[in-house]
Amino acid sequence: MRVLPKTDEEYPPLLLVRTDFRDETAWLRLRAALDQPWVFDEDAGDGGGLKEEILSVDDPQWAEATFADVLAALTAPEDGEEPSECGWDVVFLADAASMAGAEPTLLAVSTDPEEPTAPYRIPALGTPHAMHCNLALANMDFEEFEEF
């Protein structure tokens, strides 16, 4: 049975689920892109870089999982019949398309059942950190990042 962690942290780490295990080099390239800080304040004396903590689910049992599979695991009912909240505003999938291009990408998936929005692809360099931070702080909505 596939299980994903839930959180009740006010500011949880960025959640990344790897669903493609065919190319280890591509996975390492994607992780290297995620390890680059997101520059949120270019005028700051320290360069204004920020890198979100990442909770990476790198388990072959998630091979070929779809975003629907991931959402179902995150919102599986707990002691009731209604889907539960998982604690994350967004989950990022490292799927086959993430690893295939010249520049790594991620599939961004909203976990908000109240406002279902279709998943979309974002660059792995910088955007996941900005997205995670701004969604956690309620500065922006999921749909706004589709233009990045």
Share of the chain above pLDDT 90, in %: 41
Residue 88's alpha-carbon distances to 13, 37, 61, 132, 133, in angstroms, are 9, 21, 21, 9, 11
Neighbours of 20 (CB within 10 A): 20
DSSP alpha helix (H) spans, the chain:
24-34, 67-74, 96-100, 127-136
pLDDT tens digits along 102-129: 899 999 999 887 777 899 999 998 788 8
Classified as helix, coil or strand, 100 is: helix
**Bigger pLDDT: 37 vs 135:** 135
Mean pLDDT across the chain: 84
* Residue 82: band (very low, low, confident or very high) from pLDDT cuts 50, 70, 90: low
| 23-37, 45-59, 64-78: range with lowest mean pLDDT | 45-59
Question: Residue 49 above 70 pLDDT?
Answer: no
**Highest-scoring range by mean pLDDT, 73-77, 97-101, 124-128:** 97-101
pTM, two decimal places: 0.86
